[in-house]
Structure 1
Amino acid sequence: MTLPRPSFALTVEPGPDTAHLRLTGELDYDTCAELTRRAGTCLAENPRLRELHLDCAHLTLCDSMGLSTLIQIHRNATAHQVRLHLDNAPPFLERLLAITGTRRLFAQVQVQDQSHQAQARGGQTDEPHDERPPVRKQFSSTPPHTPCL
């Protein structure tokens, strides 16, 4: 028995130098081709375009293929000298971008809701922190190995 899949919807609001694509639903293997095609069309058809905004407020899932698609759109936008924005990224998407180190690729519209920002950071404060895991030193009672000459 096959279960029905949640839908994916994409609306485009073009402008003279900015385009907004609003994503709704799941961005995954089955749905990413549509986003790639529509973003590519925006970039190809408007040579004056300088900003491409992907509004992710209603995105419910982004798998590895979805992330790969976002990176490919970033590459395509960069080739067209267009700045790509991921607006209103839900907390799960912010975590995915942070874990994979890809957040820096995308411009971001600041969310006014402080609780949304804190949730996106996993409840962390605004204080600067080092995201690397702590280094554990291992101590041994034997001296370090010295190679034979």
Structure 2
Amino acid sequence: MTGSDPNGGSSVRRIGMTVSEVGPRTTIKLTGELDFDTCPDVTRVSDALALHGRTLCVDLSGVTFAGSAFLNMLLSLRLRAEAEGGDLELCGLRPQAERVLDLTGARGLFRVLSSASASASASASAARNA
């Protein structure tokens, strides 16, 4: 994606995504900026995932910026996961993303894990109990 620079140049913004599946959990690990330009890319990738009854974990430990589009994206992901009988978890929240959730009062809408390793532990436990 290419954005414009206020100084007349162009800037390239990218979001890195890695998708993994372990047991009943699908994890999308994000790196980079989550803004108006990049959130649609995350949505396109997540829309291609079958979530029927699965937990979608969004690992935000590599996110360096989270704008208002980030919140809208998370709310849409939450609605989709619930509509398909699954859940949405957030892990690895950095302070700036936490602040967006706290300022908007949206934090309570999400299950927030302390880290990606907590998500991995939950996946391993769920796989053993299945």
> Do they fold alike, i.e. is TM over 0.5?
yes
Distance 1:31 1:91 in 2: 20
Cα deviation 1:91-138 (Å, max 9, x = unaligned): 011111011011011111125xxxxxxxxxxxxxxxxxxxxxxxxxxx
Residues 1:47 and 1:90: Cα distance change in structure 2 (over 3 Å): same
Structure 1 runs of 4+ aligned residues shifted over 4 Å read none
- Tell me the residue number matched to 1:134: none
Q: Identify the match of residue 36 of structure 1 among 43, 64, 72.
A: 43
Q: Identify the match of residue 47 of structure 1 among 52, 63, 72.
A: 52
Please report how far the alpha carbon of residue 5 of structure 1 lies from its aligned counterpart in structure 2 after TM superposition.
3.1
* Higher relative strand content: 2
Q: Please, what is the CA RMSD of the aligned residues? A: 1.5
Distance 1:95 1:48 in 2: 30
Distance 2:70 2:53 in 1: 27
- The structure with the largest alpha-carbon Rg is 1
Unaligned runs of 5+ in 2: 1-7, 116-130
- Tell me the residue number matched to 2:73: 69
Distance 1:65 1:29 in 2: 5
- Count of residue pairs brought into register by the alignment: 108
Q: Identify the match of residue 21 of structure 1 among 24, 28, 32.
A: 28
Task: State how 1:1-149 maps to structure 2 within 5 Å.
Answer: 1-42=8-49, 45-49=50-54, 51-111=55-115
Distance 1:54 1:7 in 2: 17
Q: TM-score, normalised by structure 1?
A: 0.67
Please report how far the alpha carbon of residue 17 of structure 1 lies from its aligned counterpart in structure 2 after TM superposition.
1.3
Please report how far the alpha carbon of residue 83 of structure 1 lies from its aligned counterpart in structure 2 after TM superposition.
1.2
Greater relative contact order (Cα < 8 A, sep 6+): 2
Distance 2:62 2:105 in 1: 23
Residues 1:47 and 1:83: Cα distance change in structure 2 (over 3 Å): closer
Counterpart secondary structure, 2:113: coil
Distance 2:105 2:86 in 1: 21
* Higher relative helix content: 2
